Amino acid sequence: MIKLDCPLILASGSARRRELLSLIAPDFTIEVSDVDESCTGTPDEMVLTLSERKAEAVAAIHNNAVVLGADTLVYGSEVLGKPHTVEHAIEMLKALSGKWHDVFTGVTLIDTRTNRKLKHCERTRVHFRELDPCEIEAYALSGEPLDKAGAYAIQGAGDAFIDRIEGSYSNVVGLPLSALTGMFKALENEE
């Protein structure tokens, strides 16, 4: 468990990130940052930029806290964001069927007492088995994929589509816990 001598603030409204962070840091608050999420670059550059923007927006109004910002994206042959319709979810799932894709999460920690900033990008490779059109449609109609990057939730029914994973499971959910624990320890060692 992570114990800091100042408040920890999660700059995200994601329920999945909140659940994951609670596994390693029992005491934190949430402040959703309202930042521009438009960004260009490679997937790793994009998630690092957005995680830093989120953390900086919240850190700017605190002087005695550690702020955590994170951003996750799914990359197949292109960036796959959150589908806004059932049809869009079906299209994304068809594109992932029978193929490998990558999940990138950028994490930024800012200690507002020292202005120290740590950044990390985690990449996990995920392979979908060949999906039947009927199961794609049924899953899309369930509503689960509509607020998930890549149109699936590994921690939900979408796990049934995955036959291989290389890397951090928690990264695919939205927060790479092993890497994050190391970042917290590095921050503590600098105090």
Tens of pLDDT, residue by residue over 57-82, are 999 999 999 999 999 999 998 999 89
State the DSSP code for 167. Answer: S
Residue 145 pLDDT greater than 90, yes or no: yes
Structural domains counted in the chain:
1
Given the DSSP bridges, would you call strands 66-75 and 8-10 parallel, antiparallel or unpaired? parallel
Average pLDDT of span 108-133: 97
- Residue 180 located in a structural domain: yes
The answer to whether 34 is a known catalytic residue is no
CA 187 – CA 36 distance, rounded (Å)? 27
Residue 2 domain flag: no
| Dist. CA 191–CA 184, nearest whole Å | 11
| Percent of the chain topping pLDDT 70 | 99
Q: Domain holding 144: CATH number?
A: 3.90.950.10
Q: Which domain holds residue 118?
A: 8-190
d(CA 174, CA 171): 5
Annotated active-site residue in 27, 71, 111, 159: 71
pTM across the whole model: 0.93
